[in-house]
């Protein structure tokens, strides 16, 4: 599970440094980032799917990893994931394909699935 651990360890270490040194506004942005994905009119799962597809079309690999982890926690199935992949690749174009390859690799690392279900 090194992909997952490497990502989480680096993320945690650097976020801690940013929050320790950042100004009040940066701290507010981080707080807002946390509160936005909480349960509301839309469920956490739906919001995490929105965060995932947004990260894919904007092609941010680390953002994709973060939301994949959250989607996994919220019970997203691999079948649902692939439909998100298709929307992202259609809307964002084939430049999203390389990010989809890395997303699937990370998802499989998360879920310990090494083969096609």
40 binds a second copy (CB under 8 A): yes
Among 3, 4, 8, 59, binds a second copy (CB under 8 A): 59
Distance CA 38, CA 36 (A): 6
**Shortest approach of a second copy to residue 40 CB, angstroms?**
5
Q: What is the DSSP string of 45-77?
A: HHHHHHHHHHHHHTT-HHHHHHHHHHHHHTT--
Q: What CA–CA distances, in Å, run from 25 to 11, 14, 21, 36, 63?
A: 20, 17, 11, 16, 21
Consecutive H or E run containing 25: helix 24-36
* Distance from C-alpha of 89 to C-alpha of 105, rounded to nearest angstrom: 16
# chain residues binding a second copy, by CB under 8 A: 67
> Please, what is the minimum distance in Å from the beta carbon of residue 73 to a second copy?
17
Which 11-30 positions form the footprint of a second copy (CB under 8 A)? 11, 14-15, 17-18, 20-26, 28-29
* Residues making contact with a second copy (CB under 8 A): 10-11, 14-15, 17-18, 20-26, 28-29, 32-33, 35-37, 40-42, 46-47, 49-51, 53-55, 57-63, 77-80, 82-98, 100-102, 104-105, 108, 116-117
């Amino acid at each position: 599970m090194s992909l997952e651990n490497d990502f989480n360890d680096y993320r945690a270490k650097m976020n801690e440094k940013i929050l320790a040194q950042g100004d009040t506004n940066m701290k507010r942005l981080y707080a807002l980032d946390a509160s936005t994905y909480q349960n509301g009119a839309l469920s956490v799962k739906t919001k995490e799917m929105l965060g995932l597809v947004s990260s894919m079309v904007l092609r941010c690999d680390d953002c994709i990893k973060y939301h994949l982890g959250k989607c996994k926690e919220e019970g997203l199935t691999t079948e649902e994931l692939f439909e998100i992949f298709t929307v992202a690749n259609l809307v964002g174009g084939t430049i999203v394909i390389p990010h989809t390859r890395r997303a699937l690799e990370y998802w499989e690392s998360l879920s310990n699935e090494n083969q096609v279900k």
